[in-house]
Amino acid sequence: MALQAAVERARFAAEARIAAELGGVDLPVARAMLYAVRGGKGLRAFLVAESARLHGIADAIAAAAAIECIHGYSLVHDDMPCMDDDALRRGQPTVHAAWDEVTAVLAGDALQSLGFELVAQAEGEAADVLTLSRGLARAAGVHGMVGGQAMDLAAEDAPVPLTLAQVETLQAGKTGALIQWSATAGAVLAGAETAPLGRYGAALGRAFQIWDDVLDVEGDAATLGKAIGKDESAGKATYVSLLGLEAAKRRAADLVTEACDALSVYGEDAEMMRDLARYVIARKK
């Protein structure tokens, strides 16, 4: 319950900050932007806030809102007909379905811009804020999320399915890069050592993606708020297709242990981040 409350606080605070930044903009694209960032898990915002708390930073809401903008933009574009062509996200019509494709493109573009505007407002030394912003650009771009998404799309038409090593590389970019950035954000803003949180974030991101693959096989569409079985029907190589369902679950559990062990330098102060890692492979959506 404490974890759930903390995650919800971070999510609501991030959503409120985004809404405040958009205050007074009476355009369909602004409404679509808010629609896109509301109702998510808030895990990335929580990771930013909690990693900041570990380093004595009380106010990391700008950085938490920034990552929710970048994540939201990625989902808006990912759902579009030219990519994954999804009609549902979080149990609601996707942005292009609720508005139109033009509005969805612009809403995603504007969320990306707003994300970098927000990260530039983060509390910290100028050099540390710059480092955080550069790290977000790399994690979101061709070396991270966009690169992973491009690999994923290319794999759909590849004559030979991806190997496990290739899937891990793909997902480290598509899913893991933004999670790892979120986990290390507090250390970066404090000018502190990032390696422990970097290891935590990398393991957490991989466990998160494996569990997404598990849920795509045995999850419930109503609970997930989106279609299931799409990876299998598309013939995509996933952790589950390559390892098998039970082996994939064991691999996810091992990664959670790895993530928790990486936090040993923080002692009991990092217990909520350990709880988050355990939750990642217990969630139903």
CB 64 within 8 A of CB 40: no
Retrieve residue 190's tokens. Answer: 């404090």
**In 249-285, which positions are buried (b, 16+ CB within 10 angstroms) versus exposed (e)?**
bebbeebbebbbebbeebeeebebbbbbbbbbbebee
Residue 265 to residue 246: CA distance in whole angstroms: 31
For residue 89, what are the β-bridge partners? 92
Q: Where do the structural domains in the chain lie, given as residue ranges?
A: 2-280
pLDDT digits (tens, 9 = 90+) for 40-76: 999 999 999 999 999 999 999 999 999 999 999 999 9
Q: Max alpha carbon distance in the chain (Å)?
A: 51
- Bridge partners of residue 92, in order along the sequence: 89
What is the amino acid identity at position 91?
G
Strand (E) or helix (H) holding 39: none
Calculate what percentage of the chain has a pLDDT beyond 90.
86
Residue-wise pLDDT for 181-199, tens only, equals: 999 999 999 999 999 999 9
Pick the CATH number of 2-280 from 1.10.600.10, 2.30.40.10, 2.60.40.10, 1.10.10.10: 1.10.600.10
- Please state, in angstroms and as integers, the Cα–Cα distance from residue 223 to each residue in 6, 86, 112, 217, 278, following that order: 22, 16, 28, 13, 19
What is the reported pTM?
Answer: 0.94
Is the pLDDT at 204 greater than 70, yes or no? Answer: yes
